[in-house]
Each structure stands twice: as C-alpha cells, then as structure tokens.
Amino acid sequence: MFLKNSTPAETIALTTPAEPVKPGAVYPVIEFERVTVRYGKDAGATQALAESSFHIDKGDFIALVGPSGCGKSTILKLVGGLIQASDGHVFVARREVGAADVRIGMAFQNPTLLPWLNIRDNVMLPLKIARPFRDEWRSKRKGEYRDRADALLESVGLRDFGEKYPWQLSGGMQQRASLCRALIHDPTLLLLDEPFGALDQFTREELWATLQALWMERRPTVLLVTHDLRESAFLANRIMVMSARPGRILMDERVDFARPRTLETTYQPEFTSLTQSLRNLIVAARGGMAGHP
Amino acid sequence: MTSVNREKIASAVLIVGVFVLWEVACLLFGISDLVLPRPSQVIVTLWERWPALMPHAVQTLYTTLLGFALGVSAGVLIGLLIGSSRLAYNVAFPLLVGFSSIPKVAVVPIFVLWFGSGTVPAVLTSMIISVFPVVVNMATGLATTEPELEDVLRTLKASKRDILLNVGLPRAMPYFFASLKVAVTLSFVGTVISETVASNRGVGNMMLLASSNFNVPLVFAGLFILAGLGVALYVGFSLIERRVTGWANRKTDFAAG
Ligand SMILES: Nc1ncnc2c1ncn2[C@@H]1O[C@H](COP(=O)(O)OP(=O)(O)OP(=O)(O)O)[C@@H](O)[C@H]1O
Ligand SMILES: [Mg+2]
C-alpha cells in the first residue's frame, strides 16, 4: 500500500556524516503541542491555528496542504521562530523554539533576491550572516565559500550565472538561485512556502527533481507548503492536510513511492488516486463543490 | 546608442537655439540692455569682470557645499534613526512633514537675528533647506524592506545591524542619491536667498548691488554663474548616482552596454 497512517519512518536513512543515527530510531526535530495561534487582540482576533499537535522526524520531507488561509504559512513562521504561539508549545530540536540551535533555510514564492548583488553573492548571503560561518566570512568568501556557492549553483543548472544580476535571470532561474540561498549554509531545517507557486508547469516539474536530488544528498528536514497536490505527492514522505481556518490537521499520510521519483511516478494509478483523494479532502474541507477545478 | 546621441545633440541645439533667438530678438526689437541685455553682452561682461566676479562665485559655491554637507549629514542621521524603527517612523513623520512644509526662505530673518549677517546664515539656510529631502528619502528607503526577506534574515539570526548593513542601506542608496540631486539644487537656492537678504559677499549679494546700480548685464552675468554652478553640481551628483546605484536602473542602462 502506498498510504499508511503515520507509520514511523523505518526506511529513512537519517545518517549524516557528523552524527551517526541508529536505524529505526525516531528523532522528532519539530514538536507541536496543542499549539494555537491568534492574530490580533480580543474581539478582532483571527484564529489561524487551533490546538494542533504533531511531530516531525529529523530528515523527513513533509508537505503541508490545505485550503487558502488555513494557517500553513503560520506553521512555517512558528517553526522559524518568527511568531509566537498564543497557546501551547513549539519545540525545535527538543528546545523551546528560539532557544534551539538549528540552522534554518527559507524560501518563498517570490525569490526575494537582492538586486544589487550578483547571483553568487546573493547565494552567499547566509554565510555572511549566520553563525558559525560569519566568523570566517572575511577569510573564506573568496575561496571556500565561493566554491561552495558555485557548486550549488551548478547543481541547479546555473553554472554560468554566478556573475549575473537577478534581473538578468528568468523567474524560474531566480527561484533556483533562491533555493541555493536557502541551502548554502547546510540548514538542518528547510522551510519552503509555495516555492514553485509562480512557475509554469514544466519549470516546476524540473525543480521538483532538483529539490528531490538536493534533499536526497543532504537530508535536511523539509517543510513544504504547497497548493499543488501532485507536487506534494511527488516530493514528500508525508503529507499533512489541514482544515479550513482555524487550521487543524485533518489527515496525516505517509507517501512511500520509491526514490528517486520521476515523472513516470506521477502516471502510476496509485499516484493519481492519492492526489485525487487529497483533492476530495481539501474540497470538502473548504466546503466547496467537488467537481470545480 | 544612436538614439541617445541624437537626443543629446538635440538638447545642445535647443540650448544654443534659445540663446541665438534671444540675441536676435534683442537686436530686432531694439531692446535696451537696461531691460534685457543680449547674451553676447553678458558673456563679454563675464569675461571682463571675471577677476572681480570669481571670489563671489567661490564664496557662493563654498557656502552651498558646506551647508549641503552639513544638511546631508544631519539628514542621513535623522533618516537612519527614523527609518530603522517603524515606531519612530510613524511618530516622527507628522512633525517632519510640518517642518518641511515651512517655506525655508522664512527662516532667513531668524538666522540673521541670531547670527548676524554674513556667511553663517547662508550656510544654515542652505543646510536647513537640504535636510528634509534627504531625511524623507533615507527613511522611506530604509522602511521598505520586503517582509519575506526580513523573515529569511531573521531565521538566520541576523541582528538589527546586519539587516541595516546588508539590506537597509544598500536598498536606501538609490533613494539617497536621488535626494542628493534635489538637495544640492535646493541648497544652492538657500545660499543665494540668504546672500541676497543678508550678506556682503557671494553671487546673490553681487547681483543685488549690480541691480541697484542699474548694471543689468552684470546682474545677468551673476545669473549665468548661478546657472553654471547649479548645472555643474546637478551633473556631478547624477554621475556619482549612476556609478553607485547602477543596479537600480536595471535593463534600460545595461542593455545598451
Ligand atoms: N499578520 C497577520 N495578521 C492578521 N491575520 C493574519 C496575519 N497573518 C495571517 N493571518 C490570518 O491567519 C490565517 C492563516 O494565515 P496563513 O498565512 O497561515 O494562511 P495560509 O494557509 O498560508 O494561506 P495561503 O495558502 O493562502 O498562503 C489567515 O486567515 C489570515 O487572515
Ligand atoms: Mg501562505
């Protein structure tokens, strides 16, 4: 079966060179304990998230799907320590969020590259800012860091574009660069908020493969918010479906297609029926008509 | 390329044309040089009186640049203060708008009252008049960071200072240089006004004396000097702007080269 309910990740190799991990052991890197988020105060408050509890294992690839405005971005912001829970607790790497010493990479629907820096310097920005890299910024930015950025750019097919400026690249290429910026400091946690939302279907599918390859190589824990159900089924090990606002986790499914997945995978009947069932669930959650696209 | 060159040639032709027209019109209608001297007369006057005029020009330039430098420094500081905190921005903005809508000419008498006539009120006027464009532009440039970019930086545990140095300041640069062009022109206006009202030196004062002696060509010579200085300052800062913030002009400029 390709759908199993919340089975621990037995097949996931959590091993990173620095930290050998026993196979089969579960290390939650993110823990939500009855988390509620309200924006605003008192009567005018919007409840974005309602008493949500879930765990995410280290090295897992999670897709968050759900109707618009259900609190997906809110969950990413909580994990990134950008907002605080109104009630409940968010733990990252077993510490209260904020105190946790994790490296986080983030990318959004628009690339948010800095127009005055060339692509390579844009990609290197986290090395200039995040610890421990910043301490050696001066000595390494022309050597090791630069090579690192170039290698990453090459892996997403932007080898010859390091010296170019963002406006000289197409939207898809900028998005690749933005992905490189999110990965350059070897984050253990990758937060992606509809990163491919603004791209055409072909570019998007190309980038699925790129992201999958990068994930398989580095094994960060990924939290991907998306509206594209094929994307979630293609990329994720686990899909969490949320209800309409205030968001709750409606369904939490594992996806066990073999990796690396290819476009062939998406033509399998199991794949199609998975996306179909996700679709029905979300349509029901937003209270719309099932037949409407 | 060619179209840009053609535009430049056209501007030059237009400028020369205006002077020729002026010259011809004066000759044709026999306009007295007590009313409107011909450009050729003005240029001759400029040439003949240059040794006497130059110290005035230098004085005016010096006063303007000093006031401008002070004004820009103050403007940058205030702009940084206001622009780096949303609270400060919201609280201080009404006050700024109030100040900046006072006609700066009106403060000259006050400066004269406090500091006597001479260079000091001219420098101060030139300073006060150039502060506001800089403040407003700096603050706006700093305050408009994309929220998503800020999220990226905050997850990297960037300090306020990191964000200011890596994003805020570079982003504010085009605004800053745009404001310099405006400010230097205004600064110049401030100096001349103050010189006209209360000074015994500078081009403004020289023009006032010349007009009271009915030496109209000399008045116009002063005007030419002011125009020349104004254009030179504007062009200077435009050039600096283009060098420093070429990225903000994007395709239009780069595509040609
Ligand atoms: N800064 C804010 N202030 C007030 N309300 C907010 C704020 N951010 C989000 N909300 C509200 O919280 C709810 C959840 O927002 P969130 O951005 O998490 O939704 P989302 O699931 O990411 O939606 P989408 O799929 O459209 O991006 C929304 O209904 C929104 O109105
Ligand atoms: Mg969102």
pLDDT tens, residue by residue, B7-17: 889 989 999 99
Among A117-121, B84-88, B136-140, whose mean pLDDT is lowest? Answer: B84-88
Q: What is the mean pLDDT of residues B169-196?
A: 88
Residue B93: the pLDDT is 81
Q: Identify from A112, A121, A188, A194 which residue to disrupt to test chain B contact, counting B C-beta atoms within 10 A and taking the largest count.
A: A112
Q: What is the mean pLDDT of residues B75-104?
A: 84
Among A7-11, A119-123, B80-84, B203-207, whose mean pLDDT is lowest? Answer: A7-11
Break chain B into its structural domains and give their ranges: 1-31, 38-256
ipTM field = 0.77
Q: Does B170 touch chain A (CB under 8 A)?
A: yes
Residue A18: the pLDDT is 39
Taking CB atoms and an 8 Å limit, are A104 and B155 in contact across chains? yes
Distance from C-alpha of B187 to C-alpha of A124, rounded to nearest angstrom: 41
Residue A131: the pLDDT is 83
Residue B254 predicted with pLDDT over 60: no
Q: How far is the CA of A26 from the centre of ligand 2 (A)?
A: 29
Is residue A276 exposed (0-12), middle (13-18) or buried (19+ Cβ within 10 Å)? exposed
Residue A2 pLDDT grade (very low, low, confident, very high; cuts 50, 70, 90) = very low
Residue A15: the pLDDT is 35
pLDDT tens, residue by residue, A142-155: 888 999 999 999 98
Q: Are strands A189-193 and A221-225 parallel, antiparallel or unpaired?
A: parallel
Q: How far is the CA of A225 from the centre of ligand 2 (A)?
A: 7
Average pLDDT, chain B: 86
The minimum CA-CA distance between B98 and chain A, rounded to whole Å, is 32
For B:130-149, CB contacts with A below 8 A are: 146, 148-149
Q: What is the mean pLDDT of residues A263-281?
A: 91
pLDDT tens, residue by residue, B95-132: 888 887 888 778 888 888 998 888 899 999 999 999 98
Residue A291 predicted with pLDDT over 90: no
Q: Collect all residues of chain A within an 8 Å Cβ-Cβ radius of residue B245.
A: 116
The minimum CA-CA distance between A37 and chain B, rounded to whole Å, is 18
Ligand 2 ion: Cβ-proximal residues, 5 Å cutoff: A 73
Q: List all residues 6 or more positions away from A71 whose beta carbon is below 8 Å from its beta carbon.
A: A37, A48, A49, A242, A245, A246, A247
For B:173-192, CB contacts with A below 8 A are: 173
Q: Which residue has the higher pLDDT, A140 or A106?
A: A106
Taking CB atoms and an 8 Å limit, are A112 and B162 in contact across chains? no
Nearest to A71 by CA among A49, A47, A86, A45: A49
Residue B103: the pLDDT is 84
For A:241-260, CB contacts with B below 8 A are: none
Residue A288: the pLDDT is 54
Residue A203 pLDDT grade (very low, low, confident, very high; cuts 50, 70, 90) = confident
Of A36, A41, A49, A73, the residue with max ligand 1 atoms within 8 A of its CB, to mutate for a pocket test, comes to A73
Please state which CATH number belongs to domain B38-256.
Answer: 1.10.3720.10
For A:165-184, CB contacts with B below 8 A are: 165, 167-168, 181-182
Q: Which residue has the higher pLDDT, A27 or B194?
A: B194
Q: Report the nearest atom of ligand 1 relative to the CA of A194.
A: 27
Residue A177: the pLDDT is 94
Q: How far is the CA of A126 from the centre of ligand 2 (A)?
A: 23
Taking CB atoms and an 8 Å limit, are B162 and A114 in contact across chains? no
pLDDT tens, residue by residue, A214-261: 899 989 999 999 999 999 999 999 999 998 888 888 889 899 888 899
pTM attached to this predicted model:
0.76
Nearest CA in chain A to B164: A129
Residue A289 predicted with pLDDT over 60: no
Residue B30 predicted with pLDDT over 50: yes
